[in-house]
Every structure is written in structure tokens, then in C-alpha cells.
Structure 1
Amino acid sequence: MNTANGAQTQMVEADLAKRLETLRLPEVDARLGDVGRIRVSVAGQSAAVEVIAAVPEGGLRPWVEAAVAKELAVAGFELARLDIQQRIAAHAVQPNLSPLPNVRNIIAVGSGKGGVGKSTTAVNLAVALAQDGARVGLLDADIYGPSIPMMLGLHGRPDSPDGKSIEPLRAHGVVAMSIGLLVDQDTPMIWRGPMATSALSQLLNDTRWGELDYLIVDLPPGTGDIQLTLAQKIPVAGAVIVTTPQDVATLDARKALKMFEKVEVPVLGLVENMAVHVCSHCGHAEHIFGEGGGRRMAEQYGVPLLGSLPLDVAVRELGDSGTPIVTNVEKTATVDSYKSTARRLAIQLSGRPQVARPLSVSLLS
């Protein structure tokens, strides 16, 4: 190939890559270029495409395959090969803190008040990310009222191979740790704040998490000692605020959002839970807890609304049995809403500044 032809080929490849970058991902309202880097190599009228995805790619793969092939056909090319590689980076945390060695990103899930479905949301987001191909951990930071073991169907005490560290338990593709796995179910944690925060630090640092892309931390409701410990001593890449549409819930959610802002933890977005109830008998949709409160709050504070989740009895029934709703093989609007919310969360985090990693680590990942 002479120099002129080589330059022309590079121009065609660059033009095709730009066209592919603009493709819209229908579920998450993002462009393909927002979730990764795209490279195109052409030979004649055939094109090979490589996508370096900065988010879990499992859920996006079927759509990307169809959309890329269609767009190339419009441009007069045939898709010869599509290679999608997943490379989830570590993202910036609070000043003066660094990400944990084996945990790329810690994401805190908080709320201003109890009863908004925060733990249910945290569990289903974690499992949904794992289903899409990420390595995910879940830390139950609610020392006084741990619920993660029940929601994941976990039983028994974790092992301690060396008498110092703890092996997390695994369920539904997620590794998890909770104080509820270390004490009897009926034992109340009658601890003052410093003891609770010390327990949280131990659960985080003494658990053998292995290599994780995301560690979801389910916080207790409110803005107390545990939240401050997490914000000041634990490297957090971002936070998610869970609320219901009603005014009293968004009022408290605003306090949680402002707390994270003050301690320099970026809020990745809001999740509006119990947004609408659809009657299983007649199909009537009713906004039991009000309508649009989460969206109005997101617009007021300039943060994304990651998702509006329905009030569905199946979420409660399956959660009580240790089976998160997203594991349901039946395709439902509720399952889809949780999965698309998890994908929007990953996309929002992928747009944050990255942390430079040692060359030896980068080459092995």
C-alpha cells in the first residue's frame, strides 16, 4: 500500500469510528462513544471493529453487535469482526485518599431516611452489575440493622484462614460481607458510634475481597457517624442517593446529597424507588407516593436521575426469600428498570477522572 492509499484508509477508519461513536444506546440514553474507545480497521469493503468498554459489557453486547453491523452497512461496509474488551478503570476518590489495592471503585448507596428501599436497591444494582460481567462486592455498612444476608440468602459464618482476615460469602455472582454474618440473627448491636465505625472499618479492610471492579456499600439511613467515617477514611469513587417520590423523602435525601458534596464525594445520581405501582389485575398505574419528586430533585441539584423503579410486590417477595428480583429469568418491566439503572450508574462513573495505576498493574489487567 502506497502512502496516499494508506492515508486515505486511515481517514476512512477515523470517519467510521466517529460514526460509531454517535450511536445511541437506547436503554441508558448514552452514546457508544460514552462507554468506551472505538477502533476500526478496514480491508476493502470489510471492517473490523474493536470496542474497549469502560463499563460492564455483557448487557450492552447484543445491542452493540446489531447497531455496529447496521451502521457499517449504511456506510457500505460489511462487519468482518467485532471485538469487545472490558477494561473498568479505578476512578478518583476524596482528596488525600487512594483507592484500595484490589478494589477499583467503592460506590456508596445512601438515603436520608429509612424505608425507601435503599438496601433492596443496593443489592439489585450489585447483582445486575455482576450479571453484566463486572467483579462486584457488597458491603453491608448498616451495623445496627444488617439486612444484606437475608436479601442475598446467605447463611453461616465466614471462614478466617489466618485468624485475622475474613473470606466473604458469595451469592448470585456477588461476594458479600455483613456484621449480620458474624453475630446471631437476634443479637442487637448495642454499640456507641465509635464502636460501630470501628466495626465498619474492620469489615472493609479485613475482608479478602479479591479483585473487584465495584464494591457497593449499603449505608444505614441518615448522615451520622458511619457516613462520616466512610466519607473521611474510606476511598469512595461516588455515591448514589435513593429516595421515593414523596416530599418528606426527598427532603431527607437532599440532606444526604449535601453531606456527600461537603465531604467531596461525587454524587453519581439519584434513584427514585417506588415511583409507580401497576395493578397486577387491571393494569391501572397509580403513583402511591407522589409523582416526579426524584426527577425534580435531580434537576434542582444538577445530578442525573439514574432510574425510576416501580413498586412491585415481587421485589419484596423475592427479596425476603434471598433472591434479588434481577435474577428473575422472566423479562419484566421491573427487572429491566433495575438493570438499566445499574448500567446508567456504571456509565456515570466511567465519565469521572481516572486514577493512574502502576504500569505493572495496568499491563496485567
Structure 2
Amino acid sequence: MTGASERRLVLLGSTGSIGTQALEVLSRHPGIARPHGLAVGGARPELVADQVLSHRPERLVVSEESRAEAVAQAVDRACRGAGAAVPRIEGGQDAVVDLAGSLAEGDVVLNAVTGSVGLLPTLAALASGARLALANKESLVVGGHLVTEAAEPGQILPVDSEHTAIAQALAGVRHDQVDHLVVTASGGPFRGRSRADLAEVTPAQALAHPTWSMGRVITTNSATLVNKALEVVEACFQFDLPEDRVQVVVHPQSIVHSMVTLVDGSTIAQASPPDMRHAIGWALAHPEKLPGLAAPLDFSRAQAWTFEPVDETTFPAISLARAAHREGGGAMAVYNAVNEEAVDAFFEGRIDFLGITALIRAVLEDPERPRAERSGGVAALLEVEAWARSAARARIAERRR
């Protein structure tokens, strides 16, 4: 494995769930890479200061410029108190993009930010030639063709339990030998509920995921199954398959993270306890395996794994995403942007839980919705996304009257 003195790492979203676990993996396996730069939102200045002291990055970017001063003060106090060098500190989204593109071939960028704001850093990382460990699924959901066309073969490695599982199952398998992929879903906190049961769901209930500990947006997306919908589209681009060859099955135990069914009828599955350190370590150290990364399964203990179909009547998010992906023209950029607006509105009490996917459907069906042609590049996608956010906000405001 390339030594820490040779391989540099840029970590975007270091204070989030994936970011903090990635730094934990680096602490236990320092030979993976040497942290060069961290990017944070800035809401947790003391945590940022702790990370800077522990990992000594050369650069630190605070994406929310209004929070940069508070972060800089916390980092300065911590570093001076410990006699450590203060990193170069910058603010703003442009600085995040610059940091993402600051490395070179042989280095690695872990994009663990949440939302479509991760697309431009993804493209910058790919242009640099560095390996992209991609936890920001919105990069592929929103900018799929732009991302895949910018990437060299093998340059993108997924940091997601489902897509990491598929990538491992595909090792040694030719593309023409794949019949279809099976993406597993825990079912979230509301598995087995009817639409009527979900009418009064609170934000606290939506955040009570039975298996995984994640951030607010991803946990809510798991409750609506929007997260699984995004993963279907992500898989289409990551593994170059149409959406009708990416199936979804509910697996409440979250042990089998995904499967690949081959043309001969056999199915290859990847199984491990639900722990994101598997996916993080796999992408950062690839093709090496990190010993003792996380606990293995104990097959000496009796256990049962169950699988069941998705209730797409109660949870229409997946079918909506399939249709948007088939349509193209930036429809998935609309889907994702509206969902981001809807999740915020749900937590602010401006719409109810069922209103999240209802709003996505309504904006997608708007006869005035513009299209983003592939020839228009990133600018066209951003225009469509801006329209979608405006349309979503207008509909949310109308509901409040």
C-alpha cells in the first residue's frame, strides 16, 4: 500500500457521520494516507479544532463563510495551546472546489458532503487525477453523465454500503455476465406501515432509524425511501446499467448490503454487520484490505436473514426516481433539489411527512418544468435545479396559506 508519506487525502465533510468515521479509520490505519485538507460546514467549531489537532492538515476550508471566523478562532486557540501549526484557513464553496482539485494522481479525495453542492467538488477531484472516494451520491444522481464522462476507469470508488457491496461482488465478473443488481434496503423506521399510519409522523420519529446512525437529511431520506431511490440511480451510473436492471428488496437486518445476479442464475452477495467503516476503509485502501477494520459476522450464532418486496404504494419515492431517470433532461436534478427543500420544510413544520414525496411528484409533473440538455453541461443543470428549488418553495408557501 502507498505509504502515508506519499499519498495525500482531502476529506470533504469531515465533521459529518462519514467524515468522523473516516478519520477514525485513518487514526487506526495511518498508512492509508496523510491528511492534506479538511472541508467543513462550520457548525461545530470545537470538533473541527479537535480534528485539526489530531490530524494536522495543511488546509482547512469552511464552506459556510459566515461560520469561518468562529471556526478559525477555535482552531487558533487549540493549535496555539498545543504548540501546533495553524493550517491555512479559507471560507466559501469556491474554496471547497479548489481544495477538492488540489491533489494529483496517487492521492485520494473523500467527498462526504451531503447534497447537490457536492457535484462541483466531485468534478474538480476527477479533473485532478486523484482517486475519488464518493460518499456524495447526489454527484451521480444530479450530474451522472458529466461525472462518468469525466472519470477515468476505476477512478471513482463508492463509499456506500450498497454500492461498495456491489463493487466487491463484481470483482472478477465481466459486465456482460451481469443480469441485474439487487440493492437492499432496511425499510427504515416505518417499514410495514400504511400511508394512513404516516400522516402524523414527527421529525423525531423519522430520525429513529432502526439500523444506521446517519445525519438528518440521509436519515429522513431513508425514512421516505428517497435515499434508496437515489441509490438506484447512483448504481445505474456507477455500474453502467439501465434502471430496470437495478432491483430493490427490503432486508431489515442490514447484513446483506447488496447482491449481483449473473446471467447463469447465480447470485453473489456481500454480507457484514452494519458498519460504514467497511465501505470507508475499502475505498480508501483499495485494493488492500485493512485488518480488524470492523467486527465480522459470527456464524456460530443462530440468526435469520429475511427479504421482502418494497411497498411502493406507501413509499413512491423509488418509482418516481425511476421515471425521472428514464426521462433525463435534468429530471433527477429536479427530484433531488425538491427533496432537499422538502426535508427542510418538514423539519420546520411547514409540510407533513407524506408531503415530501408529494411535493417531489408535483414539481416533476409541472408542465412548465425546464429541461437541461447534456450539451449544456453543469450550467444547465444548475439552472434547472434553481428553478426546482424556487418551484418547491412556492408550493410549500402556498400550502401554508
TM normalised by structure 2 equals 0.33
Which of 1 and 2 has greater Rg?
Answer: 1
Which structure has more relative contact order (CA 8 Å, sep 6+)? It is 1
Higher normalized helix content (fraction of residues) = 2
TM-score normalized by structure 1? 0.35
